[in-house]
Amino acid sequence: MKRKTILKKLTEIKEENLNHLTPLKNKKGKYYTGTFQVQSHLELMYLITNLIKVCILALEENECLSDKQIPQPKYNVNEVLRHTLQLIPFEEHQFIDQVVDLLDNLNDDNDG
């Protein structure tokens, strides 16, 4: 195969299969943003709370879990919580607050 054909095919395979991480660059270099497929904001909030609950369970002394199943539990919980923080949709909630304020103002104008 020619170089262009191989590059085209590899690009097609990449676009079809690598869709969860998006490469970006900043001052520190290259990094990736990830996506989670959820059906609603509520489902995302359930995902976040479930991740936190699992971390709580992992930190509690649990006789059912061994060090082999969850090595370095504090480190692993820290990593999960760090990623969970990134899942919280602050911008969307700020948007919701702004829409609610606008609706309240409209309702106040209609009442007066």
- For residue 55, give every residue at least 6 positions away whose Cβ sits within 8 Å of its Cβ, in sequence order, or none: 77, 80, 81, 84
| Average pLDDT of adjacent 10-residue blocks, the chain of 112 residues | 80 76 86 82 87 82 65 80 82 78 73 66
Helix (H) or strand (E) holding 26: strand 21-26
DSSP 8-state symbol, 88:
S
Is 0.85 surpassed by the pTM of this model? Answer: no
Residue 72: burial class (beta carbons within 10 Å; 0-12, 13-18, 19+)? exposed
Residues shown for the chain? 112
